[in-house]
Chain A
Amino acid sequence: RKEVEQDPGPFNVPEGATVAFNCTYSNSASQSFFWYRQDCRKEPKLLMSVYSSGNEDGRFTAQLNRASQYISLLIRDSKLSDSATYLCVVGNNNDMRFGAGTRLTVKP
């Protein structure tokens, strides 16, 4: 089993749609969780951290389910500019593991 697993997609959604991604992890001792966004041929950039109580940043909501060992990312009112690959990152301190990413394409 991979340490961090994501559905690779692609997810093709119309503008304005709500889309959700899940990411499962195998190390139950993991304490740090993040979602990154990666545009084509660019480096990953931090989208948001994921906190135990869940957190929201504008149209983006992240949640953590420790019991089932997964994190989720919800994007509301999708924009064309949301098209990218979304990577989940799980780990502890300086030992972080990356999912392979979920590709999202938002279409007009």
Chain B
Amino acid sequence: SQTIHQWPATLVQPVGSPLSLECTVEGTSNPNLYWYRQAAGRGLQLLFYSVGIGQISSEVPQNLSASRPQDRQFILSSKKLLLSDSGFYLCASPGGSRGYTFGSGTRLTVV
């Protein structure tokens, strides 16, 4: 089994400030990792996925970027946050027949 760690759990940032959210995977790992965002009362939107170190694919154009510096590390960043970046950010990894395993998420509020 695998565990996905995310931090911080909650973050309040001013508009225009930078962002760095970290996700690390512990235990048996599928090489694929994903960043999702969930706006209040909405579904999960896939932001980025990575199939390996240094390999990032973006699903939607946006103010965010992602990096995979190590096999078990996936980072979500922004140089300048917008109000619309507020949301619940989830890191996930496929678990085969058990679907996806999610981290506990980071709730970001941009003010």
B30 with A44: CB separation less than 8 A: no
Contact partner of B43 among A34, A46, A100, CB < 8 A? Answer: A100
A89 with B32: CB separation less than 8 A: no
- A43–B100 Cα gap in the complex (Å)? 11
Interface flags, B30-60, vs A, CB<8A=1, else 0 = 1010001000001110100101000000000
- Answer whether A43 and B104 are a contact pair too, CB < 8 Å, given A49-B99, A94-B94: yes
Number of interface residues of A (CB under 8 A): 20
- A93–B93 Cα gap in the complex (Å)? 11
Contact partner of A45 among B32, B46, B51, B102, CB < 8 A? Answer: B102
B103 with A43: CB separation less than 8 A: yes
A96 with B94: CB separation less than 8 A: yes
B102 with A43: CB separation less than 8 A: yes
Say whether A64 faces chain B, with CB atoms less than 8 Å apart: no
- A98–B90 Cα gap in the complex (Å)? 13
Contact partner of A36 among B97, B99, B104, B107, CB < 8 A? Answer: B99
- A89–B92 Cα gap in the complex (Å)? 13
Chain A contacts of B102 at CB under 8 A? 43-45
Residues of B within 8 A of A (CB): 30, 32, 36, 42-44, 46, 49, 51, 88, 90, 94, 97-100, 102-105, 107
Residues of A within 8 A of B (CB): 32, 34, 36, 41-46, 49, 87, 89, 93-94, 96-101
4 additional A-B pairs beyond A44-B90, A100-B43, beta carbons within 8 Å, are: A34-B99, A87-B44, A89-B100, A101-B43
